Amino acid sequence: MKKLEEYVVSIPDFPEPGIIFRDVTSILQDPDGLHMAVEGLINMVKDIDFDVVVGAESRGFIFGTPVAYELHKAFVLARKPGKLPRETVSREYALEYGTGTIEMHKDAIKPGQKVVIIDDLIATGGTVEAIAKLVEELGGQVVKICFVMELAGLEGRKKLAGYDVEAEIVYEGK
């Protein structure tokens, strides 16, 4: 049986020279890879007491929804600005070249709910840090943060210090 990292296509010099792009879509394109990735995420959280899965736009939706479905939990979207139809809360975060903003519905997390955040990749950690802060602003408690892949060389875990963070695949570089 293949390991999950064998489903990842690595593309050298994309988007710029010296960068190795880890393509998560190659996991999605293979039924065994997709199944293995989702099962790995389920195994990370199956013994944790939680109420809600929050998925980061957009690949966190792909990986988080089947986890929520399988474990019979609610699923909440964390989206780019202007995509959610009801009243939202938002948080700005730093990007490599500028800033980004993430939003959630104001009523998405109830006070006291325990939350798992799922995304495909942790790089610098800014997006998921912003999501965690929004969860806490709404009165929720982040009990676990899960990723399919981690680029450890970008030190995203530093921004998530104090949270329980786990990744299925860890690449030492950037």
The active-site residue out of 16, 86, 87, 96 is 96
Residue 90 has pLDDT above 90, yes or no: yes
Residue 131 has pLDDT above 80, yes or no: yes
Give the pLDDT confidence score for residue 18 in this predicted structure: 84
User: For residues 33-55, b (16+ Cβ closer than 10 Å) or e, as one string?
Assistant: bbebbbbbbbebbeeeebbbbbb
**What is the token pair recorded at 59?**
């690949």
Q: What is the pLDDT of residues 137-156, one digit of tens each?
A: 999 999 999 999 999 999 99
The active-site residue out of 22, 59, 79, 91 is 59
**What is the token pair recorded at 150?**
């981690």
Task: Say whether 96 is catalytic.
Answer: yes
* Rg of the chain on CA atoms, in Å: 16
Q: Name the percent of the chain lying above pLDDT 70.
A: 100
Residue 97 has pLDDT above 90, yes or no: no
78 within 8 A of 141, measured Cβ to Cβ: no
